[in-house]
Amino acid sequence: MGYRRLQLFLLVVLTLGLVWACQGTAVNSGVTLKMSGWGASPSEQRLLQAVLRQFEATHPTIRVRFETIADQYMDVIKTRLIGDAAPDVFYLEAAEAPFLLDKNVLEPLDAYITPDFDLADFEPNLLDLFRHQGQLYGLPKDYSTLALFYNQQAFADAGIQQPPSTWDELITLAKQLTIDRNQDGRIDQYGFGVMAELPRLGYVIRAYGGEMVNANGYAAYGSEAAAQGLAQIVNPYRSQGSFVQPADVGSSSGSEQFGQGKAAMVIEGNWAIPFLQDTFPDLAFATSEVPTLNQQPGTMVYTVAYVMNRQSQHKAEAWQLIAYLTGKQGMKDWTSSGFALPTRKSVAAQLQYDRDPLRSALVAGVSYATPWQIGSYPSAVMNSFNNQFLSAMLGQQPLQQALEQAQREANAQIQAAEAS
């Protein structure tokens, strides 16, 4: 081969090599999205990974790297948002949403949503928790309300045919279900297990016209109306001896004390169902809607949304991920195992959770539930309440005094935070 022909041959080979290299980059290149959330059970983690792999299979140019933030989730997210190192997409609990919504760090989603996404399919009161100044910043991925869980064997042993439908009935049945089997002064089964914390008691405060926070996000549970509702928890616990807290019987949660047979009734969320079925497989239990209080239906609702970092460099791809996870098929895949309830009405109907013997009571409550959302400083509002309310439960101070003290403490913390 002559010199000039050799040069031409090498030039062709080099050119083809560059073309092949570029083609290979185009085929194999893509975007890697960072997505963050908190830890969950191994089963839930496996389910999430399976849904993410399904997304990648239908979006071959996008990869998702999911990061679990095990501790201090919101503190980590806030720090990363300040430092421009936040993930493209992340979980945002409704209770934490007001603070971030007010800081202009989230991408509004309205411009991305098309008619075929069918936004009207979502439970409207859940969407509203992620709206700010007329714009939507998050799409709720799942939710849970609270329902009454009751031990069917305990009911049968006591000759009780139906679960209570009113709070007065619950108090009466709790007395009947409180048992000292050995007549030794030690209660073996309490009638009702109660979680004495604000995330579980917002609907109790609301039943008599009280509120957890006012329109400005300040604690407002020091009112007489709030005390009137909460007295329905404190008085039976203090005077009747048929209400019990988990710590009183060496349990770590309401679900656990119920599963252990230490409480015949508890008010818990959807998360309790797989826990009880896995941990206490021989337990026969059923659910019903939370008993009415002051003739008002009530429960709590908790939800988490997918939100987009406003500083994301891959907003189009981030939207594709959010749209898939909260779309009809993605949400069906995520909620079909029963770990969580779907926020789309069509998916709930398709999965027939409104007819599910254990979940229908939870689904029924979403339309009238009190959302767990308490302003921009939820820790101050919640922790002050929990500390003072527990002291009232234990008889260390009157209930009204405890609530007023909690309100003062919470609002002092909020004012200090706003001034800093």
Token digits of residue 329: 């098929």
Has residue 82 been placed in a domain? yes
Residues contacting 271, CB < 8 A, separation 6+: 144, 255, 339
Mean local confidence (pLDDT), 394-411 = 97
Q: Tokens for 73?
A: 């989730």
Whether residue 4 lies inside any domain: the answer is no
d(CA 259, CA 253): 10
The predicted pLDDT at position 82 comes to 87
The mean per-residue pLDDT over the stretch 282-289 comes to 98
Answer for the pair 31, 59: CB distance below 8 angstroms, yes or no: no
Q: Do 270 and 251 share a domain, yes or no?
A: yes
Spatial distance between the Cα atoms of 88 and 37, rounded to a whole number of angstroms: 12
Which stretches of 178-306 are DSSP H helices? 198-206, 224-235, 254-259, 272-279
Task: Scan for tokens 């049968």, then name that residue.
Answer: 156
**pLDDT score for 189:** 97
Dihedral in degrees, nearest 10, Cα atoms 285, 245, 42, 362? 50
Which DSSP state fits 419?
H
Which helix (H) or strand (E) is 318 found in, with range?
helix 315-325
Which pLDDT band, with edges at 50, 70 and 90, does 324 fall under? Answer: very high
18 lies in a domain? Answer: no
Average pLDDT, stretch 394-408?
A: 97
Helix and strand numbers (H, E) in the chain are: 17, 12
Indicate the pLDDT class of residue 1, thresholds 50, 70 and 90: very low
Q: Is residue 16 part of a domain?
A: no
| Residue 203 domain boundaries | 146-300+374-419
Burial zone of 374 (CB within 10 Å; 0-12 exposed, 13-18 middle, 19+ buried) = buried
Query: Which residues are 132's β-sheet partners?
Result: 135
Question: CA 81 to CA 235: how far, in whole Å?
Answer: 45
Residue 406 included in any domain: yes
**Which of 36-50, 106-120, 207-221, 358-372 shows the lowest mean pLDDT across its residues?**
36-50
Largest distance between two CA atoms of the chain: 110
Question: Average model confidence (pLDDT) for the chain?
Answer: 91
Under DSSP, the state recorded for 289 is: P
What pLDDT score does 42 carry? Answer: 84
The residue out of 371, 396, 411 marking a domain boundary is 371
Q: How far is CA 87 from CA 79, 312, 314, 315, 361, in A?
A: 11, 8, 10, 11, 36
The total of structural domains in the chain comes to: 2
Q: What is the pLDDT of residues 6-62, one digit of tens each?
A: 343 333 333 333 333 333 323 335 999 999 999 877 888 899 999 999 999 999 999
Whether residue 277 sits in one domain with residue 187: yes
CATH of the domain at 327: 3.40.190.10
**Are residue 111 and residue 161 in the same domain, yes or no?**
no
pLDDT tens per residue across span 200-241: 999 999 999 999 999 999 999 999 999 999 999 999 999 989
Residues 327-350 have a mean pLDDT of 94
Please check the confidence at residue 80 and state whether its pLDDT lies above 50: yes
Do residue 282 and residue 187 come from a single domain? Answer: yes
Asked if residue 329 and residue 185 are part of one domain, the reply reads no
Per-residue pLDDT, 15: 38
Q: What pLDDT is stored for residue 338 in this prediction?
A: 86
Q: Which of 82-86, 278-282, 349-353 has the lowest mean pLDDT?
A: 82-86
Give the pLDDT score at 207: 97
For the segment 128-181, what is each residue's pLDDT rounded down to a tens digit? Answer: 999 999 999 999 999 999 999 999 999 999 999 999 999 999 999 999 999 988
Per-residue confidence (pLDDT) for residue 8, from 0 to 100: 39
In this predicted structure, the answer to whether residue 256 has a pLDDT above a threshold of 70 is yes
